[in-house]
Amino acid sequence: MARLTQENVERAREIISRYPASRSALLPLLYLAQEQDGWIDDSAMEHIGDLLDLTPAQVLGTCSFYTMFKRQPVGRHLVSVCTNIACLLNGGYELLEHAEARLGVVVDETTPDGEFTLEEVECLADCDRAPCLQVNYRFFGNVTHDDFDRLVDDLRAGRLAETVPAHGVLNREQPPPVSVRRADAPHGAGD
Amino acid sequence: MGYFEGFRVTFEQLFRPRVTIQYPEEKRPKALRFHGRHVLNKYEDGMEKCIGCELCAGVCPARCIHVRGLDNPPDAPVSPGERYGFVYEINYLRCIHCDLCVEACPTEAITESKLFEFSFSNRQDAIYTKDELLVADDGQPKHLPWEDWREGEDLHTSAWVRATAPNGDADYEGRVAWSAELGYGVRPPEAGQLGDDDAGAPIDDITVEQVAEGGHH
Amino acid sequence: MTEQTETKKDTVTVTVDGKTFEAAPGELVIAAAERHGIYIPRFCWHPRMKPVGMCRMCLVEIEGVRGLPPACTTPVAEGMVVDTRTPVVKKAQDGVLEFLLINHPLDCPVCDRGGECPLQDQTFSFGPGESRFVEEKRHFEKPIAISELVALDRERCIQCARCTRFADEVAGDPLISFVDRGDHTQVLTFPDDPFTSYFSGNTVQICPVGALTASPYRFKARPWDLDQVESTCSTCAVGCRVNLQSSQNDLVRMLGVDSEPVNHSWLCDKGRFGYQAVEHDGRVTHPLVRKGDELIEASWSEAYAAAAKGLADVRDLHGAGAIAFLGGARGTNEDAYAWAKLAKGVLATDSVDCQLDDGLPAAAVLGLPRATIDDACRAKAVLLLGPDLKEELPVLYLRLREAVVDGGVAVVELGPQSTGMTRHAKTTLLYRPGEAVEVARALTSGRDPMPDAGGVRGEELAAAAGILGRAGEGVVVVLGRPSVAESGRTVAEAAAVIAAAWPQARFLPALRRGNVMGALDMGLAPGVLPGRVGLDAGREWFSQEWGVLPEEPGLDAAGIVGAAAEGRVQALVLLGADPINDFPDRTLARRALAGAGFVVAVDTFLTDSSREADVVLPAAMYGEKAGTTTNIEGRVTRVNQKVTAPGTVRSDWIIAAELAQRLGGDLGFDSTAAVWAEIARLAPSHVGLTADVLGRRENRDGVVAPYEGEGPPRHEAPVEQIEAAAAVHQGETLPSEAVAGAPEHAAVDEPSDDDDPAGAGRPPLLTFAVGDAGSTAAPPAVDAYALRLVAGRRLYDNGVTVRHSAHLAGLAPSPRLRANPYDLDRLGLGTGDRVRVTSSRTTLTLEVAADTGIPRGSVALPFNLPGEGAADLIDGTQPVTDLRVETTN
């Protein structure tokens, strides 16, 4: 199910053709798979391995190194609460505990309705607005507990759909520029 | 006069305390560190302490110990951890009771009792198997029919020295200390084994309870 | 001054810990120091892999360099001054070890590595002695099986990446990888994709902690109760050097020894774990003699008497030619020599074959100019006309793979199906089974444009010829049997064609049985005598010593089995041979065993064939006897005894000597040493290669026969012969007198070496030329409705070693018929469908699988897997086997 779709295989081949060594296309293809399903499951990794002539173990090694590649299903909104030093001092842990209570899940869990996945992250580089969090990698700074409750309500009601697209469609909203010259290359040239 | 000089020696001996005893009816108390027949200990929950690591066999200068390890059955583990002593045999025709096996044992599984009076009528019987060495369910060494156990010989069978802290307690790292254990067969530490406080304390003054405290604080 | 500048070019002067020495430019500090006795602690660095500098254990101080560079990634430079013992270095080592031990569980007493663990040893030698870490360590599930053979304990892992690098760099099977990051980093396989590399055992050997342990060795022994001896693995014919380790008279482990010319310390898993067969309970431990329908345990004297009587009766009634010997390629050279002397020198029969028609004709193997493994790895180009090396000679595959990947050696593969080498080959020419000769002719013809041949397109041939060059200069041909389902003679003939066209090409035989090369050298083949001489050429030389010799050249394995089936061979002696499972044509093999009136099996287990024997003589296995063995290069090395054989089992040479005595002969030796002394005195290719020479320190890696002593090389191009052969080839005429089953040997007189009085009268070594392989009937025309069978082998098969090794037996795959997707489509089939496969022999029902590595018109079915398979289908009387494939419904 979670192998790449035919359309995405075409895209994958095009991506592969941009690199002199096909293995270099591993990260873009993992993004592609995550974009397709919101997360990367084992069969997607196997499929990518096939496309790049890598073993699934090699794909897994790379995929699991990066925390932004999800190997478990993720809800529509990925809430990442920072608990690194600046946020910690400004109540990051309290915010995280509040989020757990408000959403009714613990860290790394998804709400039963599939709306929210909560995660604890390291510094998001938004320290001047600590405590901060991200929803689908969009920043929200100086988040009070009330702010958080409002944010959850707004997200659930779809009032922020404009600024916070659903998880997994990040790239689809802004497709990578396709080089005109390379687009003519036969599919799988770098395979 | 000359022969009176000879009798003087005899007469002097008449009034000295007698050292011969009526062995085997009567027995002398054995030294505290007397090395007798081995026992294989268990934990209080009945698990065997032996993990089949073969360190005892490796250190044995008489090459009299034969150990083979096996994977612990996951449903009914014999010892804590992955491995247990599947075969454990000591050949008492070879054993010189040097106690190096006891020192080498990382789990205090093998220790010695004070029993030395056991005999065999063939070589095969001289090889004690695991079944015979293992303590009974009450933690007491098994009294086998051909062994002449006397009172006290099966007491205090546990080991003497622990050099380091197996529990990872950094305070005890590298310090020679007595680690008391729960259960049967604990014998008191000797002078100096509890650290500086009890330096020179006579052995008999320290109770088992103190040992337990001293070892673990 | 000029001298200095001159030396500067090829060496650099470095000083390590005050010791000044010369090192090769580019050599790493850690390696250079070690060569001069200065050990720098390390975990991740391995001399046979590329450096990564991961563990930080080898930090050293280098004058003028800031910080502490790792010695394993720093190449030496002129005037470099290195210190490995300063307080700063010591502090760094303490720190690194303390870090490495933070998460290490220290469960050394239950760890298989405990007692021989680099982490333990180096902690004692270089470590801080105590840790400040009192927090909880990280925890993982204790050992998880990452394959049937390897268990992984992630708690013990120190992330040196030796295993993952080995899997990727050396084995080319990157099935394990670091997963997750930071303090969660762990080595793992992909879920449900186990570490099924044929080389997985090496990761256990190089793991510097007990993270990877071998399931067959798990808790079997501890290092201090192991006893070891160096030997040579005889699972296949590569001849890897090993340490055989035993505990309480049980073989428990084999470790690879770094032999520069051969195995570079690596072993395959079959070699590493195959020792389990030696310890198997099902060994034949006492002689058995048939009484009625049953084999009854008997004493040795009864068994010898029964065997000798049976053989003598046949000899007296039907002549010596009615006695035949099959097998003998699994023992030592001494065993093979003893059997050859018994067969040829006592019984005077030449129908002896150590191969079971699954290899190549002896004349080709012995007579072609030989290359070593190193020659192949340094060749300009390698032409691979042989089996799937990864499956049959795995460590040769590793060496060639390394030569391709790191050395840039060009490999041209010529075979009926894709193999493990295909992905490393510059080009792969897939020919139609049975048509290797045509392809070889076209490839060496130098014509432009090249014609299509044997199912290979002309352009492909031209491309391959372009890689290989014109005269075969610098080309090494790795020559073996690509498929049991096509005649070995065609392959030998193809080799002869190549040898004739390219006089400078050299050949590396790729035969698989443990000591097949030694058995051939010792004369266990028709038409040859020990020492690589032909029967007629060596007649005079040997008859002085042996007395009698066979009058006529005898039959090869195919001939013997065929003759036995027809009752012409009356007595069959099986030397560890199991024709029912190993002869290509099972139907014929069964008939042969039934047809031979009297069968003696000298065997280690009761196989399908030895069960049919009248007398079974139990033979000692590997590790139970000493002697010498010979690998594919002709390299003679020592094998040593480690354990005592069970029961009353005896070495082959003793059995042969005892039988000889009862047959009215005397082999004339009473020890292995005496057998070797005779070989070193008599066998022309081995003259002078005494136990003394073999025992020399500089010969630890063995000596390549023909032994040249101090004199000039003997095997260098008998030029006239090759030119003559080339002339024959260009005329494209084949000698018509060559008869099937009785290969004729074009023995050419070499100019005798007048300077060497010991060589006077010594017969010349065999050579091989076009036509010597015997008749090579052209395969029948391609039938559009039939598919032609290709039968290669798998590493894990139904052989005695695998079947009796508890941990290997389950690894043999079930037979599947693989075909090109085009052919499957044509038949309306898909992977997983069951089909009826019919040959002239029988019909089987098999599962099919699509495989683009099989050319159109062919189907592949591995040989000798458990159950019914290729041997039932193959018709040994035909040059190829055509199959009809139909759906079952």
DSSP C137: P
CB proximity A108 to C under 8 Å? no
Q: For residue C186, what is the nearest residue in chain A, using CA coordinates?
A: A61
Quick: pLDDT tens for A16-40.
999 999 999 999 999 999 988 889 9
Q: Which of C180, C181, C193 is closest, CB to CB, to A57?
A: C193
> For residue B154, what are the CA distances in angstroms to C206, C397, C821?
47, 63, 77
Q: CB-CB: which of C110, C115, C248 is closest to B83?
A: C110
Q: Tell whether A2 is within 8 A of chain C (Cβ).
A: no
A57–C190 CB contact, under 8 Å: yes
Pair type for strands B65-71 and B83-91? antiparallel
**E strand or H helix at C287:** none
pLDDT category at B166 given cuts 50, 70, 90 is very low
Residue C76 pLDDT exceeds 90:
yes
Q: Does C134 reach chain B within 8 Å, measured CB to CB?
A: yes
Q: What span, in angstroms and rounded, lies between the C-alpha atoms of C538 and A158? A: 96
- Maximal C-alpha separation, chain A: 55
Put simply, the answer to whether C181 touches A64 (Cβ < 8 Å) is: yes
Task: Please indicate if any CB of chain A lies within 8 Å of the CB of C189.
Answer: yes
Per-residue pLDDT at C82 exceeds 70: yes
Length of chain B: 217
Q: Does the beta-carbon distance from A58 to C188 stay under 8 Å? A: no
Enumerate residues 6+ apart whose C-beta is below 8 A from C407. Answer: C377, C378
Q: Taking CA atoms, what residue in A is nearest to C189?
A: A57
The per-residue pLDDT of chain C, averaged, comes to 90
* B-chain residue closest to C224, CA distance: B58
ipTM score above 0.95: no
How do residues C129-186 score in pLDDT, each as one tens digit?
A: 778 888 889 999 989 999 999 999 999 999 999 999 999 999 999 999 999 999 899 9
3-state secondary structure of C189: strand
Q: How far is A61 from chain C (nearest CA, A)?
A: 5
Q: Do C174 and A57 touch (CB under 8 A)?
A: yes
Residue C293: partners with Cβ closer than 8 Å, 6 or more residues away: none
Q: Which amino acid is at C223?
A: P
**Touch between C and A (at least 3 CB pairs under 8 Å):** yes
pLDDT tens digits, one per residue of A127-144:
999 999 999 999 999 999
DSSP summary character for residue C342: I
> Environment class of residue C179 by beta-carbon count within 10 Å: exposed (0-12), middle (13-18) or buried (19+)?
buried
Domains of chain B: 29-161 (3.30.70.3270), 163-217 (no CATH)
pLDDT of residue B171: 53
Which chain C residues have a beta carbon less than 8 Å from that of B51? 109-110
Overall size of chain A counted in residues = 191
Give the tokens for residue C340. 């050859």
Chain B neighbors of C109, CB-CB under 8 A? 51, 53, 55, 106-107
Best of C146, C147, C193 to substitute, by most chain A Cβ atoms within 10 angstroms, is C193
Helix (H, G, I), strand (E, B) or coil at B154: coil
Instruction: Find out whether C378 and C509 touch, Cβ atoms under 8 Å.
Output: no
Q: Is some CB atom of chain B closer than 8 A to the CB atom of C141?
A: no
Q: Which residue from C minimizes the CA distance to B169?
A: C134
Q: Do C134 and B170 touch (CB under 8 A)?
A: yes
- Angstroms from B24 CA to nearest CA on chain C: 40
pLDDT of residue B206: 38
Judged by CB atoms closer than 8 Å, whether chains meet at C109 and B55 is answered as: yes
The domains of chain A, with CATH numbers, are: 6-65 (1.10.10.1590), 77-157 (3.40.30.10)
| Chain C closest-CA separation from residue A157 CA (Å) | 36
In this complex, which of B55, B66, B174 lies closest to C130 when CB atoms are compared? B174
Q: What are phi and psi of C234, to 5 degrees?
A: -120, 30
Domains of chain C: 3-100 (3.10.20.740), 363-510 (3.40.228.10), 787-887 (2.40.40.20)
pLDDT in tens, B105-161: 888 889 888 888 888 889 999 999 999 999 888 778 889 988 888 877 777 665 444
**Residue contact B81–C115, C-beta within 8 A:** no
> Of C673, C745, C1, whose CA–CA distance to C333 is shortest?
C673
Tens digits of per-residue pLDDT, C678-692? 999 999 999 999 999
**pLDDT for res C131:** 82
Query: CB distance C179–A61 less than 8 Å?
Result: yes
Mean pLDDT of C656-675: 95
Whether residue C555 contacts residue C741, with contact meaning beta carbons closer than 8 Å, is answered with: yes
Residues 588-627 in C contacting B (C-alpha not used; CB under 8 Å): none
Query: Cβ contact (<8 Å) for C129 and B174?
Result: yes
A40 and chain C in contact, CB less than 8 A: no
pLDDT of residue A132: 95
Which ranges constitute the DSSP H helices of C479-608? 488-501, 516-521, 539-546, 557-565, 579-582, 586-595
Q: How many angstroms away from the CA of B111 is the closest CA of chain C? A: 17
Nearest Cα of chain C lies from the Cα of B170 at a distance, in angstroms, of 6
C187 vs A: CB within 8 A = no
Percent of chain A with pLDDT over 90: 75
Q: Do A64 and C189 touch (CB under 8 A)?
A: no
- Tokens 């072993």 correspond to C267
Least Cα distance to B40 among B117, B114, B105 occurs for B105
| Pairwise CB contact (< 8 Å): A57 & C177 | yes
Contact at CB, C191 and A42, closer than 8 angstroms? yes
Chain C residues whose CB is inside 8 A of the A55 CB are: 173-175, 177, 190, 193
**Two tokens at C750?**
């070499």
Say what percent of chain C tops pLDDT 70: 93
Q: Do A58 and C179 touch (CB under 8 A)?
A: no
C319: which residues sit within 8 A by CB, 6+ positions away?
Answer: none
For chains A and C, what is the number of CB pairs under 8 angstroms? Answer: 40
- Residue A171: predicted pLDDT: 44
Confidence of residue C10 (pLDDT cuts 50, 70, 90): confident
Is residue C98 within 8 angstroms of chain B, CB to CB? no
The rounded mean pLDDT for chain B is 75
**Residue of chain A with shortest Cα separation from C182:** A65
Q: In this complex, do B53 and C109 lie within 8 Å of one another by their Cβ atoms? A: yes
- Split at pLDDT 50, 70, 90, the class of C263 is very high
Q: Which amino acid is at C552?
A: E
Q: Tens of pLDDT along C720-730?
A: 444 444 443 44
B168 CB within 8 Å of a chain C CB: yes
Give Cα C119 to chain centroid, integer Å.
Answer: 34
C709 touches chain A (CB under 8 A): no
Closest residue in A to C423 (Cα) is A53
In the structure, what pLDDT confidence band is assigned to residue B185 with cuts at 50, 70 and 90?
very low
